[in-house]
Amino acid sequence: MSGFTSRRFLRRLGGGLSMLSVASAGAYVSAAMHPAAAQQKAPDSKPALAKAVYEQQLTIGQPHVTAFCEWLLAGCADALKQPGFMGAKLLRSTPPAANTPLVLFVLGGPGAGKGTQCARIVAEHGYIHLSAGDLLRAARQAGSSEGQLIDEYIREGRIVPVEITVALLRKAMAASGGSRFLIDGFPRNGDNLAGWHSQMGEVAHVGGVLMYDCAEAVMEARLLERGKTSGRADDNAAAIKKRFATYRAETMPVVGYYAQLGLVHTIDGSQPVEDVYDKTQQALAAVHKADALRRAQVQVVAHLYAADRASLERWLASPAGKAHEAAVRERAASMDGASRASGAVRSRVLDVSTSLKPYGLDSLRAFD
């Protein structure tokens, strides 16, 4: 793949391939056309239609996009020397996931200090704080149809079915209009986790879990003290015991799940509030850095157009085609992990006849 240099590509363009720079809204990076296909463009004649498309898709970080696209288009120009090939085009777009709101789950045992830290984060970082427990208590008080069921679950220190909780969270998120959320006390068990994935997996991005670690004896003392004024039905010794048991049995595995994904920031919640907040700030800095990269991701799609599927498949099976595929994968994998959403390059050949999208050379000419 030594031919993948922009200088060589530009020389080749000068020698016959035409390069179409693109005018529209940044969606199209650039396109190249086979000389034979370019010659078919007579003013009154219908443009030739491609019959098959070789498509490669990948998602990469913004810092790499320009250099990568230039390199890839040069590689496509190499491929265009093959018989039956008509044109190539690179497109780029923002992946939908880059625009979804950022969610931080806030976990830790009852009384670990989740609500206290969330109040500080909201004041300084502009998050919307949603406590699953608060939403459930409000739903109970508002006399909702599920009120009695919620009441029973909370009194027993059990976890309310996720359909109820996630519906409350979803509604509150939409009503807030925010783009950064602290979701406190959720997901508390496997049912919460599964319900979140199915209902919210595509709607919001979980960027991290703030996990406040605290000994039960410390948490119990805090909750009993809080119980003197909180008015909460579950801030008493008997309910606290059940809540601890539920936390150990049901919530800790959820923390383990996110730990495996590398998303958990464990913070010692037994320290004074200010010290806990200092550690929280450090965790937030790491989360925000990763989130900035997520938002700067770009989806790149490369198309090679051919007059027939056989031409594409012949080329893909040839040493040149294999080298092209391998080079794209290698280059994608060589980008630094943090700014690469997926090193996986999705490649496929599409028959235009079975595709919904008309892949004609006229689409290239639109940018002529």
Ligand X SMILES: Nc1ncnc2c1ncn2[C@@H]1O[C@H](COP(=O)(O)OP(=O)(O)OP(=O)(O)O)[C@@H](O)[C@H]1O
The footprint of ligand LCLUPRNS (CB under 6 A) covers 110, 131-133, 136, 153-154, 157, 159-160, 165, 185-186, 188, 192, 234, 243
Q: Applying CB under 6 A, does 273 fall inside the site for ligand X? A: yes
Give the one entry of ligand X, ligand LCLUPRNS, none that residue 157 binds, where binding means its C-beta sits below a cut-off of 5 to 8 angstroms depending on kind.
ligand LCLUPRNS
Q: Which does 75 bind (CB under 5 to 8 A by kind): ligand LCLUPRNS, ligand X, none?
A: none
Taking the complex as a whole, the smallest distance from the CB of residue 247 to ligand LCLUPRNS amounts, in Å, to 9
Residue 61 binding result from ligand X, ligand LCLUPRNS, none, given CB thresholds of 5 to 8 Å by partner type: none
CA 80 – CA 19 distance, rounded (Å)? 12
Indicate whether 90 belongs to the interface with ligand X (CB under 6 A).
no
Residue 226 or 329 with smaller CB distance to ligand X: 226
- Cα 190 from Cα 188, distance rounded (Å): 7
Which lies closer to ligand X via its Cβ, residue 51 or residue 243?
Answer: 243
324 binds, among ligand X, ligand LCLUPRNS, none (CB under 5 to 8 A by kind): none
DSSP H or E segment with residue 85: strand 85-93
H or E stretch covering 240: helix 237-246
Nearest to ligand LCLUPRNS of 160, 350 (CB atom): 160
Asked if 8 and 74 touch (Cβ cutoff 8 Å), the reply is yes
CA distance 256 to 151: 29
276 binds, options ligand LCLUPRNS, ligand X, none, Cβ within 5 to 8 A by partner type: ligand X
Cα–Cα distance between 29 and 27 in angstroms, integer?
Answer: 6
Shortest spacing between CB 209 and ligand X, in angstroms: 14
Among ligand X, ligand LCLUPRNS, none, the one that 65 touches (CB under a kind-dependent 5 to 8 A) is none
With binding defined as CB under 6 A, does residue 266 bind ligand X?
no
- Residue closest to ligand LCLUPRNS (Cβ): 133
Determine if 188 is a binding residue for ligand X (CB under 6 A): no
- Residue 188 CB contacts under 8 Å (≥ 6 apart), including other chains: 107, 132, 159, 246, 247, 250, 251, 254
Nearest Cα neighbor of 208 from 123, 99, 283, 140 is 283
Residue 338 neighbours by CB distance under 10 Å: 10
Out of 64, 89, 92, 222, point to the residue binding ligand X (CB under 6 A).
222
Provide long-range contacts, Cβ within 8 A and 24+ apart, for 260-267: 263/206, 263/207, 263/208, 263/209, 264/208, 264/209, 264/211, 265/208, 265/209, 265/210, 265/211, 266/211, 266/213, 267/210, 267/211, 267/212, 267/213
Angstrom CA distances, 358 to 23, 39, 48, 305, 366, stand at 21, 21, 12, 11, 13
Known binding-site positions for ATP: 111-116, 226, 271
Amino acid at 225: E
> How many helices and strands in the chain, by DSSP H and E?
15, 11
Q: Which of 53, 91, 104, 112 forms a contact with ligand X (CB under 6 A)?
A: 112
Contacts with ligand X, 119-138, as mask; x by CB under 6 A: --------------x-----
Stretch that binds ligand X, among 51-59, 112-120, 308-316, 352-360 (CB under 6 A): 112-120
Task: Name the amino acid, one letter, at 121.
Answer: I
Query: Which positions lie near ligand X, rule CB under 6 A?
Result: 108, 110-116, 133, 185, 222, 226, 272-273, 276
